[in-house]
């Protein structure tokens, strides 16, 4: 049995994505080397401008309106001329439109920064450009490359996850950013994978349960159990109690539950061969030895009933493109984890007491690798 659905659509998406990547490289090749290096060297100007726009929530304030620089400055408590110059740069970047001089409105790109709209990536922009995440890039990258210690740990004296355990505001910001990852990856994980083969999803490290909910909405027979750190479970349960849109999701939420746990020591055991453990963007947070320990624990719990393991992760091409290489650098920055190639995933699986069965292609940057626990491991 294959778990792949809509194989042709997924293959077409992959080919189009490769074509677009090659197409995007052409302007870089045509730019004189000195100018191209200057563009790269000053690229942080653009990310900082975008961060300020997200922090001031300009896209939400604009909504469907066109506002003059003066009107917008009054709404955000800013200096009109300085704000106009910021907006002019963002317009040049393709974020926001300037239909008449010194007047601005949202466009398709800036609309994804609106905090009052589904599909917003504002939380991700804020998290990536926060002082906590920016300082390691600016002050500790060289030392991290020389020593092998994650720059985040060098900057803050703690690992990323230990820091989140002791800094509630950043923990909440990081969680909100991770929830918005679904906007980037889309919902093809819920449509391209054959979830009808299962009765229960055990979503390990599932945060607020966004992925589980997307699956439950499309597969009415399923239930889902999200396993995460105690503080994340508390936040998730409070979020769904207070979330304005929860009423519309009630049919799916009634089949979603949460339990505190730890991927290394404490996750629920499978009750049936129709259970499936979902690990979405979990293993890339760990080095090989730690990922092996996590996967071995999942395999033990799955093995009690012959359950399936579905690992949703990026599979890096052997020759990395800018997207996969950037994701990998972000993992180096904050953790001892990494993005892995097909061969690296295979080697990890072979050491972890699981047998690789199939890769399900998605219409996104990730893939689902289907695993089975090896008896007696």
Q: Hey, is 372 helix, strand or coil? A: strand
The most confident of 100-104, 180-184, 361-365, by mean pLDDT = 100-104
> If you average pLDDT over residues 308-324, what whole number do you get?
93
Q: Hey, is 357 helix, strand or coil? A: strand
**pLDDT score recorded for residue 226:** 97
Angle between helices 43-55 and 33-41 (to 10 degrees): 30
Question: Burial level of 104, CB count in 10 A (0-12/13-18/19+)?
Answer: buried
> If you average pLDDT over residues 79-93, what whole number do you get?
98
**pLDDT score recorded for residue 207:** 87
Answer yes or no: is pLDDT of 257 > 80.
Answer: yes
Q: Are 165 and 187 in contact (CB under 8 A)?
A: no
Centre a 10 Å sphere on the Cβ of residue 102 and count the other Cβ atoms it contains. 14
**pLDDT score recorded for residue 185:** 63
- The CATH fold assigned to 42-116 is Arc Repressor Mutant, subunit A (1.10.10)
Q: Hey, is 304 helix, strand or coil? A: coil
Contacts 24+ apart (CB under 8 A), 51-54: 51/125, 51/126, 51/129, 52/86, 53/86, 53/87, 53/90, 53/95, 53/96, 53/110, 53/113, 54/113, 54/122, 54/125, 54/126, 54/129
> Which is more confident, 289 or 236?
289
Among 200, 251, 247, residue whose Cα is nearest residue 227? 200
Q: Are 268 and 225 in contact (CB under 8 A)?
A: yes
**pLDDT score recorded for residue 363:** 84
Question: Residue 162: left if φ>0, alpha if ψ -120 to 50, beta else—which one?
Answer: alpha
pLDDT digits (tens, 9 = 90+) for 11-63: 777 777 777 777 777 777 788 999 889 999 999 999 999 999 999 999 999 99
**What is the rounded average pLDDT for all residues in the chain?**
92
Least confident of 28-42, 239-253, 298-312, 324-338: 239-253
Q: How far apart are the first and last CA of the chain?
A: 24
> Which is more confident, 7 or 184?
7
Q: Hey, is 26 helix, strand or coil? A: helix
Contacts 24+ apart (CB under 8 A), 59-65: 59/96, 59/106, 59/110, 59/111, 59/113, 59/114, 59/115, 59/122, 60/113, 60/114, 60/115, 60/116, 62/96, 62/104, 62/105, 62/106, 62/110, 63/106, 63/114, 63/116, 64/106, 65/105
Structure pTM?
Answer: 0.87
Answer yes or no: is pLDDT of 307 > 90.
Answer: yes
> If you average pLDDT over residues 349-357, what whole number do you get?
95
Q: Provide the pLDDT confidence category of residue 244 given band limits of 50, 70 and 90.
A: low
185-373 shares the fold of 42-116:
no
pLDDT digits (tens, 9 = 90+) for 129-159: 999 999 999 999 999 999 999 999 999 999 9
Among 67, 60, 178, residue whose Cα is nearest residue 116? 60
**pLDDT score recorded for residue 176:** 84
CA distance 193 to 203: 15
**With the CA atoms of 189, 317, 329 and 266 taken in that order, what torsion angle do they form, in degrees rounded to the nearest 10?**
50
Structure tokens at 208: 């607020």
Q: Are 40 and 230 in contact (CB under 8 A)?
A: no
Answer yes or no: is pLDDT of 247 > 80.
Answer: no
CATH no. of 185-373? 3.40.50.150
**How big is the chain, counted in residues?**
377
Q: Provide the pLDDT confidence category of residue 99 given band limits of 50, 70 and 90.
A: very high
DSSP 270-285: P-STTEEEEEES-GGG
Centre a 10 Å sphere on the Cβ of residue 196 and count the other Cβ atoms it contains. 11
> If you average pLDDT over residues 204-226, what whole number do you get?
94
Answer yes or no: is pLDDT of 231 > 70.
Answer: yes
**pLDDT score recorded for residue 5:** 85
pLDDT digits (tens, 9 = 90+) for 318-350: 988 888 999 999 999 999 999 999 999 999 999
The domain ranges of the chain are: 42-116, 130-166, 185-373
> If you average pLDDT over residues 102-111, what whole number do you get?
97
């Amino acid at each position: 049995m294959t778990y792949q659905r809509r194989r042709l659509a997924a293959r077409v998406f992959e080919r189009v994505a490769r074509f677009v990547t090659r197409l995007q490289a052409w302007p870089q090749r045509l730019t004189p080397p000195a100018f191209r290096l200057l563009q790269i060297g000053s690229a942080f100007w653009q990310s900082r401008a975008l961060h300020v726009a997200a922090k001031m929530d300009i896209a939400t304030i604009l909504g469907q309106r066109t506002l003059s620089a003066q009107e917008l400055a009054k709404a955000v408590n800013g200096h009109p001329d300085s704000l106009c110059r910021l907006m002019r740069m963002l317009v040049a970047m393709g974020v926001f439109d300037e239909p008449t001089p010194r007047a601005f409105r949202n466009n398709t790109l800036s609309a994804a920064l609106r905090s009052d709209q589904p599909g917003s990536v504002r939380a991700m922009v804020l998290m990536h450009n926060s002082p906590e995440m920016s300082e390691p890039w600016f002050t500790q990258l060289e030392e991290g490359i020389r020593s092998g210690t994650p720059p985040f740990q060098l900057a803050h004296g703690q690992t990323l996850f230990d820091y989140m355990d002791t800094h509630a505001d950043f923990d909440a910001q990081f969680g909100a950013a991770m929830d918005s990852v679904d906007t980037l990856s889309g919902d093809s994980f819920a449509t391209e994978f054959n979830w009808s083969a299962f009765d229960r999803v055990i979503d390990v490290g599932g945060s607020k349960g966004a992925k589980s909910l997307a699956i439950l909405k499309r597969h009415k027979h399923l239930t889902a159990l999200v396993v995460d750190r105690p503080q994340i479970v508390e936040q998730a349960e409070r979020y769904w109690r207070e979330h304005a849109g929860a009423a519309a999701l009630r049919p799916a939420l009634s089949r979603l539950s949460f339990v505190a746990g730890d991927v290394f020591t404490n996750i629920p055991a499978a009750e049936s061969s129709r259970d499936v453990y979902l690990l979405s963007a979990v293993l890339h947070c760990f080095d090989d030895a730690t990922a092996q320990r996590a996967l071995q624990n999942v395999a033990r719990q799955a093995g009690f009933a012959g359950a399936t393991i579905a690992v949703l992760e990026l599979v890096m091409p052997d020759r990395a493109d800018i997207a996969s290489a950037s994701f990998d650098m972000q993992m180096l920055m904050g953790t001892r984890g990494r993005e892995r190639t097909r061969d690296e995933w295979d080697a990890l699986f072979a050491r972890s007491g699981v047998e690789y069965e199939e890769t399900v292609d998605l219409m996104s940057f990730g893939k689902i690798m289907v695993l089975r626990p090896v008896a007696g491991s």
